[in-house]
Amino acid sequence: MTGRASPAKAAVGDKPVFAYIASLPQPQRGIAEAVDALAATTLPNLQRSVKWGMAYYGVGDGWCFSSGGFAGHVKLMFINGAALEPVPPVTPVGMGKSTRGVELESVDDLDEHQIAAWMTQVTSVPGLGGKKTHIPSPDEPSVPELEADQTIAPRPEEEIADALRAEPDFEDHSEHRVKTPPVSGAK
């Protein structure tokens, strides 16, 4: 292990992530397996991928957090982690201004309750590579309530623009072009 991410090839799916985790030495493998298992039990419809030499996890449209083995520890980084409560303590270098996380040196460093809370929170904010859709918790209605501004009718100019875009314009408008005079002194 080095201070850099592994050279694992980018691939989407469970198998590439499981192969990546299996390639890690101990104790990083045990830590990564525990993080993966916690993600699987915490997040329904979990998606996995290997990107940039680390395991990435997402729910819906976009990647929410990553787990990567490094010399002496595993980095568990939350994309948009600055929006989490409490904000995770580690600001990694080269992973974006809002990424935050933790560095785990052993399985005992894994605070399952806090990390599961962060995993749940991070799925409700935009992830890497896509616009997140809110995934309702079991006690929330599956159909969202309308926001106050969603009942306001479109402005007239929006309706006109929509109507104009809906019908193609096949009319010849060439006769309305402005003709430019020739430049004087040109040969």
Please compute the mean of the pLDDT values over residues 124-137 and round it to a whole number.
Answer: 58
Q: Which two tokens stand for residue 98?
A: 């809002």
**Cα–Cα–Cα angle for 104, 9, 22, rounded to 5 degrees:** 45
The CATH number of the domain holding residue 35 is 3.90.1150
The kind and range of the H/E element at 104 are strand 100-104
Taking all residues of the chain, what is their mean pLDDT, rounded to a whole number? 78
Residues whose CB is less than 8 angstroms from the CB of residue 42 and which lie 6 or more positions away in sequence, other chains included: 116, 119, 120
Domain for residue 2, yes or no?
no
Q: Which two tokens stand for residue 95?
A: 């992973």
Residue 68 belongs to domain spanning: 11-122
Phi-psi region of 3 (alpha: psi -120 to 50; beta: other; left: phi over 0): alpha
Domain for residue 6, yes or no?
no
Domain for residue 106, yes or no?
yes
78 burial level (CB within 10 Å; 0-12, 13-18, 19+): buried
- Whether residue 136 has a cis bond before it, omega within 30° of 0: no
Residue 129: pLDDT above 80? no
Higher pLDDT, 27 or 155: 27
Burial annotation 137-163 (CB, 10 A radius, 16+ → b, else e): eeeeeeeeeeeeeeeeeeeeeeeeeee
Domain for residue 131, yes or no?
no
Helix and strand tally (H, E) in the chain? 4, 6
Digit-coded pLDDT (tens) for 88-120: 999 887 777 888 999 999 999 999 999 999 999
Q: What is the pLDDT of residue 79?
A: 87
What is the greatest pairwise CA distance in the chain?
Answer: 86
Cα 109 from Cα 102, distance rounded (Å): 9
Higher pLDDT, 131 or 18: 18
Does this model's pTM top 0.85? My answer is no
Domain for residue 135, yes or no?
no
Give the DSSP per-residue string, 22-75: HHSPTTHHHHHHHHHHHHHHHSTTEEEEEETTEEEEEESSSB-EEEEEETTEEE
Q: Tell me 90's DSSP state.
A: B
Higher pLDDT, 58 or 127: 58
Domain for residue 55, yes or no?
yes
Q: How many domains does the chain have?
A: 1
Domain for residue 49, yes or no?
yes
Domain for residue 77, yes or no?
yes
- Whether residue 86 has a cis bond before it, omega within 30° of 0: yes
